[in-house]
Structure 1
Amino acid sequence: MTSFATPLQLGPLLLKNRVIMSSLTRDRNRVPGPLQVEYYTQRTGAGLILTEGTLIEPQAGIYSDEQVAGWKKIVDSVHAHNGHIFLQLWHVGRVAHPLLQDGRPNVAPSAIAAKGGKFRQLEGHPGFVTPTAIDDPEHYIALYKRAAERAKEAGFDGVELHSANGYLSHQFIDNTSNQRTDQWGGSAENRCRFPLRIIDEISGVFGNDRVGIKLSPSGGYNDMGMTEKDTTETFGYLIKELNARRIAYIQLTRYWPFRDPAQRGTYVDIFQWRNLINSEHTKFFANTEYDSEQGAKALKDGLADAIVFGRLYIANPDLAQRLINNQELNTNFNVKHFYGGDCVGYTDYPTYEQQHTVHA
């Protein structure tokens, strides 16, 4: 019977368990240093660590030699503690703001602004602005490839394409943000061309069995969401194509109303595509608001090959061990320190053992 403790063969990697640490963008990775080394090392009990979203061009990311060197120290420490780690490749597209990019415009497949938005770093908290339509998507595909090359230089075990949550790759997939009339828009095949081209290019760097992708079919966050019919058709096509490429895994996130205050998204059963993914070569990762019972059941029933945990990995650096040992989870999050800052709310959460140590 498959459980959290069951090892998982992921391409050439043997994961020690089926607990995956989600990408948790904590805004502390402009140039990774000792604090980030400690943070990721604390969580090496995970079968696989997915790094926080790491931009492929300025501001914070993996486009400079200094950043590569910083990430290499993290990777080396994770490996020294018998862990595996993938870098998540990220471009935010239209939900950036020019004032946070030295005046450079935000970009998107089409010049359509996302509704809403708020930038806590900017006075007055302005919302999203109209992006500049991308002239040549191949330029950005090349940036993803270069970022993958740098991730390989840093020693990462693989890379994940962030193609969810309303960021650039997702913006090409969704027909509400992509209204192009060229080969990059229109049909499901054309709208999926951008993420598939990226997958092909980064697979050429790492090998297809060291590449994953994150998808959020239900939309919602960052003003995303198609009709149920278009969603089923589009993601059905995309997942078939990804499975044919025999990548390491496809990560699907469930609908989360908390991230959809404007109710732009549509509840979609992510398991409707389960039979399109051949787990002999491509694993199915399930994400979003899983607790220990739900995750254990999904594994037991064969719905997912592994469960991805996000916020629970913030307050539980030893989450995998707690889940495997059926121990109480810490749900006391320091929300004020989710983003940015120092060690507070980042590396100061105790393990189960530390919580329950009795001092004489």
Structure 2
Amino acid sequence: MSEPTDFFGKMKESLKGVLVGIILIPASFVIVFIASQREQASEVLEGAMPFEKAAEAAKEKKAVYMTGKLQAEPIGDGYLKPGPYLSINRTAQMYAYVSKEETKEVEKNGKKEKEPVYKCVEEWTSNPGKADDGKGCRDEGKSNPGQTLSDFSTGVTPSLIFDGKTWPMADSVGYTNMPGIDLSADKLSGSYTVDGSYLYTDSTCNTTSPRIGCERLSYSGTSYDPAGEYTALGTPGNGRIDGFVADSGDSYLRVGPGKVEQVMESLNTEDSIMTIVLFAASVLCLGIGLSMLVGPFLELIEYIPLIGGFGAGLIRVILFISAFVVMGLSFLLIEYWYLVLLLFVVGIIAAIVIAKKRKTAAA
């Protein structure tokens, strides 16, 4: 289907964008609210007490930490030897024909329009069975061979060996700063080719010289060192470690390598990164929303000689800078509302005092 790119066509599309902008602007404030007010594991588990003070921790509504070694049933997937893994996620890919649809600009009856162009390209895909199901590959008579490798996922919940006793953990356990999957030769069950982060079952296939039908596996997951030291933060009781229940009712059980200080530092870092990501998403939503809201105006500017695209682009930059400032102030107001309220009360009191002094001086 052709897409008109003349003035009236662009104005019509920009008017549609106004509706999207109206949705994105309030959505940005919802996101920044979540960024500033969401419950964080690092805050909930802050001040966790050692196992020896479990009774005191229960009275003070604090989590408990225990440091020891992890133990779990060895798991593998046929390519990875059974080993100290907590989760294994395997994704299969094939170098295959993939149908693509692109657009090119053409001129018809004095008007510029966009029309579709169909291609059949060769690339790695995790869904070769449907990748060639398109006009591009059908027109060229190309189809993919059957895929022999498959996706795989498994996991196991560990126990903590603490003070000579085995403590099973709740299935809701979460991990921080844990190592991933190592594809070194000693971890594999056969002589497979490893190229970067991929495992190839066929030695003639690799990243640099693939051919149609070549397959590979990529891995993600969590492993641990059986001889290493790990700290669990939660609530121990009845011979197992459960999650610490926050005031919100949510349960938090976290495990990471090292002492409690290292685990808390890692949790703080993770939560800070997530806050930054959410804040960036709110700025992006507001910036795009404002740009779409004034889209028709920007389209008009682009047709002004000399100013044109530069002027419209400059306005978009200003809108995104404004979005950053607005979201930054919103974050601070929501996060530190009590300070804002305090300053507001102090301001009112100061204004009243000054007014009384002036009245007294005038009398």
TM-score, normalised relative to structure 1: 0.19
Structure (1/2) with the larger strand percentage = 2
TM-score, normalised relative to structure 2: 0.19
